[in-house]
Structure 1
Amino acid sequence: MNQNESLLDIFVLLYKKRRRILIASFLVAFITAAVSLLLPNYYEASTLFYAASPDLAQPVSIDDRKIYGSDSDLDRLFSIAQSNELKSYLISEFDLYDHYEIDSTSKKGKEKLLLKLGKLYNTKKTRYDAIDLAVEDTDPAFAADMANQARARVNDLAMKLIRNSQKAVIAGLKKSVADKTTYLKFLNDSLYNLRKRHNIFNTASQGEAYGTSIVSLEGKVQNLSSQVSLLKKLDGPVDSINVLAAKLAGTRNQLKTLKQNIKDYNEGYPSIISIEQERKEFNNQLLYDKERLSKLESAYSSDIEAVHVIQQAEVPVIKSRPKRSFLVIGAAF
């Protein structure tokens, strides 16, 4: 009962003061409207873009190449868009101290400028995994230009990271190619010296030729030796015996030389085969590295972007704030 009486007393009091309340409400609404008219109009320009895949900067086949980046690529762009390096660029490029009328020589000038920029410059991820970069300003054309320049700078900084990574890989490959080239020359020199020392010029055909030659020469030696022995037993012509004996001696010398060559061949063969195999493997690695280096250098010099622009920032025609009607209605009630 007491509670109902208290509420009734409040309503009665409000009814008695209704004129004053209405006058006060209208007065506040009028003042708010007047003040809101003095507030500057702000216009928001926004640009929308996706992260491009780093595959575009790599020497991969078109079939294996992705166009759009992953979540980590998007996070990298988002971090760049919010970085102090980007903000410093905008401050310098658009002379924001002068534009926002902040004293650059004051002790807290930079802090004030960053707070001001933080309110007018905004980046966010959309539900579709894109980045929405927005700039507010009293000058709609300035807002659009700054938003587009900020996005372009995000792309430049992202590409700088990619290029630096490419340069490091290219430098490593160049060193690898140089080292392999030097070692391959060492292998070639070693192989040349071994071939010369052991008189081996072709491991495959030369071994086969030696095998055929030694069988042939040993057969000749046996044949000539038999002929000489037979003629001596038969007291054959001395001239014929001397001719056959000379041929036998020459053939034996050839056989002796051949056996020495075969000995040298057998001594050098394992080392030469080993170096030839190592040289082949190194040469294949070198060719692979050179091909990869060529592709990387081609990718490094190619004109690619780190972002896919979906929407350029256009000059806005409708202000984003203040919402004067909301201010007046909110103040009145």
Structure 2
Amino acid sequence: MSTSDSQLNSTHLLRFIFDRLKTFIAIGVGAAVLSSAVALMIEEQFKSTVIMFATPQHSIGEQFYEEIKRNDLLEYGETEDAERLLQILNSDRIRTRIIQKYDLWLHYDIDQSQPGAQALLGKEYNSNVDARLTRYGSIEVSVLDRDPKRAADMANDIAFLADSVANRLRNDRAGEALGYAKSSLEQVQQEITTMEDELGQLYGLGVYDFATQIEGLNEQYATAIAKGLPGNAEKIRKQMAEISNYANQFNKLSNLIEAAYEREAILKKRFELMKLDAETQMPSAFVVDYAAPADKKSKPIRWLIVVMSVASTLVFALLALLAAENLKDSSAA
């Protein structure tokens, strides 16, 4: 198409609009009045927002019982930590508790007995509650509601429940590990008790420290022989022979119980570490800004609704009139 043809088409379109200017004005005014009435009927909604940063989910017990600290509980979480917290914020656990606490079935006017009620409630909840990552690495939880105080309370409760759910998950996981650590510790302690009882029996037979006793008796035996005391020497020899009968048992128990004591010390440390993880509540996020009741509505933006309605109506009217004009010209031809 040439430049002159384009100019002619543009001129023709402007001429077409000018010739029907009153019609377009009437349509525009009608659309404005109608869209204004509809916009005024739309319920106002207020938005409240919580801003938080995720914290890394490190072992708390490790910070107290390990000599080398590999992690810092006070540092900000990475993207992976934020995404994990985001999953918790959008979880059914939090959604269910918010629905129950604020009776959203009644608030959103949804009949629980109607088919698809759960899906309808979920759709309404998701349209009013949103949690997302920001470009600064923080998490924004926003709630829309016709009551500004309710919106702020819901947003703050969602942030609080994220801590509660995260701690519950961590404590449950640590609790399972604590159970294994406890059973292992009790098993080792039972083994130690058994070996201590067996050593107690050897102590009762006069065997206290086989190596030290044999060394002392050898010296006494040599001294008795050197002094020409065969009676004493024979008595000492019999004593050495008697305790030698328990040498293997004593040495075996001594080695086993020493290793058991070392295992008990390690397991006690692990048990205390896991017990702390299982019982301690730690924040899963640093809340930067808590939600406050908004003093200005967020939705609807009425002027934008009116402008968009009038513009779309005029465009549709123009296309309809152009189509009618073309049909008229075709019929005439």
Give the AA of the match of 2:188: K
Q: How far apart, CA to CA, are the structure 2 residues paired with 1:301 and 1:46? A: 31
**Unpaired runs of 5+ in structure 1?**
222-250
Superposed CA RMSD? 2.3
Letter in 1 for 2:189: T
State the partner residue of 1:143. 151
Contact 1:48 1:309 in 2 (8 A): yes
SS at match of 1:58: helix
* Corresponding position of 2:324: none
TM-score, with normalisation over the residues of structure 1? 0.83
Question: Which sits farther off after the overlay, 23-32 or 114-123?
Answer: 23-32
Q: Work out the CA distance in 2 between the residues paired with 1:171 and 1:262.
A: 48
1:196 CA drift (Å)? 4.9
Q: Does 1:21 align with 2:29?
A: no
Distance 1:291 1:6, change over 3 A: closer
Distance 1:325 1:3 in 2: 35
Q: How far has the Cα of 1:43 moved from its partner?
A: 0.7
Indicate the residue corresponding to 1:42 in structure 2. Answer: 45
For 2:73, the equivalent position in structure 1 comes to 66
Q: Give the 3 Å change call, closer, same or farther, for CA 324–295 of structure 1 in structure 2.
A: same
User: 1:203 aligned to 2:181?
Assistant: no
Larger Rg computed on CA atoms: 1
Extract structure 1 runs of 4+ deviating beyond 6 A.
none
Pick from 33, 40, 43 the counterpart of residue 36 of structure 2.
33
Q: 1:190 to 1:69 in 2, by over 3 A?
A: farther
Q: How do 1:178-327 and structure 2 match up within 5 A?
A: 178-196=186-204, 199-221=206-228, 251-327=229-305
Q: Which runs of 5+ in 2 are unaligned?
A: 312-333
Aligned partner of 2:130 in structure 1 is: 122
Normalised TM-score (structure 2): 0.83
The answer for the alignment partner of 1:169 in structure 2 is 177
- 1:166–1:300: 8 Å Cα contact kept in structure 2? yes
Whether the aligned pair in 1 keeps the contact of 2:44 and 2:299 (CA below 8 Å) is yes
**Paired residues, number:** 303
State, as a whole percentage, how many aligned pairs show the same letter.
18
Residue by residue, what CA displacement relative to the aligned partner does 1:68-90 show, whole Å, maximum 9, x if unpaired? Answer: 33443322221111112221212
What whole-Å deviation, never above 9, does each CA across 1:226-285 have from its counterpart, x for those lacking one? Answer: xxxxxxxxxxxxxxxxxxxxxxxxx43332232233234445334423321221221122
Conservation of the 8 A alpha-carbon contact between 2:188 and 2:264: yes
Q: Are 1:5 and 2:8 counterparts?
A: yes
- Compared CA separation, residues 71 and 211, structure 1 to 2 (3 A): farther
State the alpha-carbon separation in 1 of the partners of residues 17 and 119 from structure 2.
48
